[in-house]
């Protein structure tokens, strides 16, 4: 029954004003994302193609409001995430830091929000999560519970990277960049899948050290294959001799560059490969005319990472998640979540390297 409903809703309507489209077949979608002030790479049809191919437990529904000529005036992509471990929910958008509703009017967001609730009813899903950044002021805070535990750091850029560099913390950043520049470190732009694989193996070890499951290689590879030919993904590697000791995978779209995945060999921290890579990413983004470099999402409880990002002169904003139903989490549930995170960290820390990929694949089968 649920499968039949999903097929019926793949392209259809949710009331008199909201339609559901398939961005892989609708030629207007990517052009709409390109023109919208909140449009980001995670809104593009290519992102849906990556999720469709690699995560069968997700189904995307792209809700749109159309203008009188049939063009798209506002939209809200959401994904039904089906998991026996974490439950069933509607999420916008899986594995995306920036994924605002593509609307600039509160009235349009209200129509789209009501349509998402109707979609949940049709699918038999009661939990809904709308993730925001710039569009947070448009959502009804009486209808949703607002979770502001996640923060987003971003660095405004200009044409002269040296002016940006002056904003960095003197001892924590500028001195470490200077140390790295005096070392025998080399910047390499990854162009082959062997480069990506080399980066991923280091990324997997980095995630283990932090007590986090690694992102599945098939996700990283799919993003690379989908967006690299268009110049929207770039791989930067830091090498010392023949050894890769750090790397960044960047997303690049419109005026933004985002540090999406990072990796470092902790045995070489004395050479500051992370600062070497970040500085080169910032310097190149300035020279290429980008206006913003994103440092990604951070939990407000991760004080050390919050401090690291602030040392680069980054500004910080909330990343509000609007949750339905509007019920604040119970304290015992928060405690249970904390225990689950500690257990996951313990397992990741202790798992042998050969098992890490299986662990990551399992975890991301239930995330979204």
What's the full length of the chain, in residues? 368
Categorize the per-residue pLDDT at 332 as very low, low, confident or very high, splitting at 50, 70 and 90: very low
Average pLDDT value over all residues in the chain: 91
pLDDT single digits (tens) 151-207: 999 999 999 999 999 999 999 999 999 999 999 999 999 999 999 999 999 999 999
Q: Which fold has domain 152-318?
A: Aminopeptidase (3.40.630)
**90 membership: H or E segment, kind and range:** strand 89-92
**Which element (helix H / strand E) includes 279?**
helix 273-287
Mean pLDDT of 211-218: 92
- Asked if the domains 2-140 and 152-318 are classified in one and the same CATH topology, the answer is yes
**In the prediction, which pLDDT does 336 show?**
43
Q: What does the pLDDT read at residue 326?
A: 86
Q: What is the CATH number of domain 2-140?
A: 3.40.630.30
Query: Do 243 and 197 form a contact (C-beta atoms < 8 A)?
Result: no
Domains of the chain by residue range? 2-140, 152-318
Cα-flanking dihedrals φ and ψ of residue 100, to 5°? -60, 150
* Dmax (CA) of the chain: 64
Q: Which two tokens mark 74?
A: 């506002």
């Amino acid at each position: 029954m649920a499968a039949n409903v999903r097929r019926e809703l793949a392209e259809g309507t949710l009331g008199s004003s909201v339609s559901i489209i398939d961005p892989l077949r609708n030629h207007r979608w990517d052009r709409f994302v390109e023109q919208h002030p909140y449009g980001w790479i995670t809104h593009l049809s290519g992102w849906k193609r990556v999720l469709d191919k690699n995560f069968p437990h997700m189904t995307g529904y792209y809700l749109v409001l159309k203008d009188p000529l049939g063009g798209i005036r506002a939209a809200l992509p959401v994904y039904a995430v089906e998991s026996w471990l974490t439950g069933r929910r509607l999420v916008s958008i899986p594995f995306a830091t920036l994924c605002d509703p593509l609307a600039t009017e509160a009235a349009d967001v209200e129509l789209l929000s009501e349509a998402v609730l109707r979609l949940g009813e049709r699918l038999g899903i009661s939990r809904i999560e709308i993730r925001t950044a710039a569009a947070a002021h448009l959502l009804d805070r009486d209808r949703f519970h607002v979770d502001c535990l996640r923060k987003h750091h971003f660095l405004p850029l200009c044409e002269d990277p040296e002016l940006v560099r002056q904003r960095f913390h003197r001892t924590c950043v500028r001195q470490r960049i200077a140390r790295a520049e005096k070392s025998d470190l080399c910047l390499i732009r990854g162009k082959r899948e062997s480069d990506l694989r080399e980066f991923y193996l280091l990324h997997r070890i980095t995630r283990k050290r932090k007590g986090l499951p690694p992102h599945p290689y098939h996700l990283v590879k799919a993003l690379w294959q989908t967006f690299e030919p268009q110049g929207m993904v770039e791989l930067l590697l830091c090498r010392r001799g023949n050894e890769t000791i750090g790397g960044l995978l960047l997303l690049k779209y419109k005026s933004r560059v985002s540090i999406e995945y990072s990796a470092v060999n902790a045995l070489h921290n004395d050479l500051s490969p992370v600062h070497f890579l970040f500085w080169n990413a910032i310097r190149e983004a300035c020279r290429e005319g980008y206006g913003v470099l994103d440092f990604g999402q951070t939990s407000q409880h991760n004080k050390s990472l919050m401090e690291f990002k602030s040392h680069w002169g980054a500004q910080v904003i909330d990343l509000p998640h609007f949750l339905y139903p509007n019920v604040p989490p119970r304290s015992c549930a928060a405690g249970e979540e904390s225990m689950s995170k500690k257990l996951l960290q313990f397992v990741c820390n202790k798992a042998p390297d050969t098992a890490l990929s299986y662990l990551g694949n399992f975890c991301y089968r239930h995330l979204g």
